[in-house]
Structure formats: structure tokens, C-alpha cells
Structure 1
Amino acid sequence: MTSARTFESIVIIFNPNSTGDARRLAEGLQGELEGLLSYPVDIRLQPTSHAGHAVELARDAVSGGGDVLVVSASGDGGYNEVVNGVMQGGNPKAVCAVLGAGNANDHRRSTGTQPLGEAIAAGRVRSIDLLRVHTGGEADSPGEYAHSYVGFGLTPVVAMDLEKGGKGALKEMVSVIRTFSKFEPFELRQADGARRRLDSLVLANIPEMAKYATLSDADDKLADGKFEVVLFAHKPKWRVLLTALRAATKGLGDQPSVSSYSFTTLKPLTYQIDGEVKSVDADTPVRIECAPAALATLG
């Protein structure tokens, strides 16, 4: 559902030490909005100072209530922190948006329908689903939110190697080839008790990731109460490579969609959540569930 909104305050969060143009883009958006908006509004820039600071800043920005828009001038990982902070703030009127300033910008590329300044001025707000990730046995834990995807197996391993190898098309290609050559599959135990050996498992709320790969053909999947399960069972590496090439060119086609997905790790396992790499211990229950229409954003 779309509604026209105005805002009492707009907070633009950015990392001043970003390798991209986060500061310049944040300052540019502030200046643009001062000229575009026809109503009085407090527009503030909030630089981060340490890892996780964006969560605190976003939570503080919305916790007092009111019509607050929090913009993350960042990539997918920075936006993940802002989304989690907004969700923790518990303000039903809060709205979240991202100004792509990272390497991949998967979420902004997949969801943006017009320049962000124009979208803010138009006040077109819609609700989209989030993924909620639980690691551990606490069924009632709040979990951690993902705005785009959660990936296990090949996805986080490639992400870690990309960070080591640096940004840029040639460096990224070399990093991916190096990682692919030494990658090993992983095992998990499904909810029905069966063990599976996989190369990759991605739970996705957007149709594209990593700038190049098209995960599914699903349209308007951002608010359908489900997410796609993109699963690669273990197979020879040449077949994995063919599948990756297909994802980068033609796309993978229709994928199964679910409202929740559960398994138990058998060994320590890394995973990627919206571009950020994390880890989970062995013998840990993992549950990913859809949080329907949980986030108000611009579109």
C-alpha cells in the first residue's frame, strides 16, 4: 500500500571513512532536499564512528516517535545496520531508505524506482517484507533483520575474498576465481532430520545480488509474505561454474518460495547477511522467516 507522507525530521547516516563517496553523496542529498521540500523539516547528517554505530544512530533517531525518515548513504551492509536500528526503535511511523554508496548496492538497484530525492519529495511510502534470522534455540528472540538476502556456503566465502582482494572489476574477477578454486561444500541437517551437502544456499527477498546474478524471475516479491530459496546441491565445480554463468546471464528462473526455512549446522559456518559476513557455531539451530510488511520505505 502506498501513501503520501511528509516528515518531521530526516536523518542521513553515513560512514565518513567509507572507500566510496558516502560523505559527498550524503551532503549532496541534504542540499537537494533543502531545495526540493516545500515544508519545514529538520535534515541532519549523522556520521558513524565505529562498526555497529549506524544501528545506534538509527534506533535513537526513531525512538522518540514521530514521522522520521532515516536514510543510509551506504552499501547493503551499512543499510542492514540502519534497518536493524529502525526496527529496534519501535516507531510505527518511521520510514527507511538507502542512497547507494557501496560496491554492490543490490537493494537500491533492485528496489529503486526513481532518484531518491524525488521519491522523498513525492512522499510515496510503501511497506516491504524483511527476513528475520534466528541463530540459536531461543524461539522468542527478536532475531536479526535482513533487507535483501542471507547466504550460506559459496556466497560468504566469495564475499570475504573480495574484501581481501579489493574493489574493481579485474580484482573482483581474480578474487572470485581464486575462491572458487579452493571452495569446499558444507553440510547441514534439515528440519526433517535429513542431512544435505550443499555448495550454496541463499534465502532472498530481492531478485538480484552481487551486482551480476539474477536469482529469480519473481515480480513484486518484496511484499508477498515469502522469500525465495536458491539452493545448489553439491556437484562438480564445472557444473557450479555453469550455474553461476547462467545466473549472471540468463538468470536462474523460478525458484521455490516459502515463509520460513530452518536447519541445524553440523560444523561452524559462515554466512552473509546483506553484504556483511558473520558466523554461527556447530550444532546451532538456524531459522529464517519472513517478517511481512515489516519495513516502511520509499518507492
Structure 2
Amino acid sequence: MKGWRPPAPFLLLLPAIVVLAAVVIIPLILSLYSSFTPFRLTQPASLYTFVGFRNYARILTDLEFWTAFGRTVLLLTVALNVEMLLGLGLAMLVEKATSGQRLLRTIMMFPMMFSPILVGFQFKFMFNDNIGLVNNALQSLGLTDQAIPWLIDGTLAFTAILVAEIWSSTSVFAILILAGLLAMPKEPIEAARVDGCTPWQTFRYVTWPFIMPFAYIAMTIRSLDVARAYDIVKIMTDGGPAKRTELLWTLVSRTAYADARMGLANAMAYVAILLSILFTVYFFRKLAAARTQIAAEW
């Protein structure tokens, strides 16, 4: 080793490698190890007791965990479909605009600029029982004569969270689908019109197959966001009332810090990550199939 000197690329990357190992790799290894222990924050010595897959076996039979998982899947399914429909509509409206399209694109991106915590506070105030904008508007219009307990009733609280998620992230679909519409050649649409296709047939058989990959890219991005939804739910309901809006990551947070069961919480987190990966793989397969269809038809 005398006289040996590391290559220059390695030396240049070394600071980034050290930082990455310190803030990502080492914590991941420690959290993975602790998921095989009964580690409690109130009992530091429990970190050195290895229990194998006991935490994971407990999760598989934990009704609370699978209820939170089902609620997360419900939120993901409804949010993605509504966001895609609204984003598609917004993108088509902006694409048809003859003037001010740049301004419309900028306005369309505004919700993405707000942090999830700010969105959570914003909608928590809007859905407040007494001074909230939603109740005041409904009462002023005569649609109800009493305040609706949006964040107290479990079903209504979940709906309020869903509205906040849709408002903050519809622009992701709108921007990506708009990019597909702007990149789409006009000749096939003109040919479809000449052949006598109706607007719906033109959209169904010409426009939609072309922009489908862009929609799946947006779905992939948003599925990861919704699968780890935490900030908005934490601010608006904190998983309440009576855990009726508990999602996977709010359950992990409560288990780790409120209940001090860090080992079990880390096991839950790794199971949640695995489930998120499965959703991502599903959408990537859909994206690959859509790209293959585009290559074959165009």
C-alpha cells in the first residue's frame, strides 16, 4: 500500500459518500436492526435483545395496522382517480387557451408551492366547526342551519383530508398531462376529424392513448406521496377522532413516539415501505405497457 493513492474521482466523491452514509445508510441499518428487537424509548437496554421476526409476525395479525393500511389504500385510490380527472380537465382547458397560457400554467402550479403543513393548517381552519369558511358559506347559502362537525365526525374528517390532498396535488397531474398534450402532434387529430370522428372518439382513441404514459408518471409520483401521507393528517386530525383517520404513517409515528415502541414502529415502517414499492412496481408496469402501445400505434 506504500505510495498508493486513491483515484481522484473517489476523493472528489468522498465527502458526499461520508454525508450519505451518516444521514441515510447508517440510520437505515440501525432502524432495520431495531425492527428485530423489542426496543422501547423508555428502555434503552431493550435495543440489545434480539427477537427475530416477532414484530413482523405481530403486524400480520394486528387489526389496527391493517385497518390503517386499508384506509391508506382508500385514500390513495380515491385521491388518484379524482386528481387525474380534475388534472385532465384543467390540462385540456389550458391547452385550448388562445392567450395567457403561461399565466394559467403558473397559477395552476400554486398549490404545489405550499408545504403540506401549511395546507393542513389552511384546511383545518376552513373546516373549523364555528369559524370555518366552509360552514359559514353553507349557512349563508341556506344549505344548512347548523354547523357541520367536519373534523369531529370520522367520515367527514376523512372527507376533509381527502379534499385537502386533492387540492394540493391535482396540479401534478395537470402539469404532466399538459406536457403530453403540448408534445402531441396535431396531424392524427386532424386526420380523425377528417374521417368524421366525434370529439369523444378523437379523445378516446387518439388523444388519451398518447397522454396515458404522462398520467401514469403522475400516478407513480402521487402514489408514493399518498402512501406516506402524514403532514396533512397530523395537522388536521392527528388520526382522530377515535383513530377514524389513522393512516399508516400516523400509526407508525404514534407507535414510535406516543407509545415509545420504536422497534415495532420500525417494523411497521418497513412493511409500509414494501407495500409502497409494490404500488410503484404496478404503476411502472402500466407505464411500460402504455409506452409499448404508443410505440405500436404511433
TM over 0.5: no
Larger strand share, 1 or 2 = 1
TM bucket (normalised to shorter chain) is under 0.3
Superposition TM-score, scaled by structure 1 size: 0.23
Q: Answer 1 or 2: higher relative contact order, Cα 8 Å, separation at least 6.
A: 2
Superposition TM-score, scaled by structure 2 size: 0.23
Larger helix share, 1 or 2 = 2
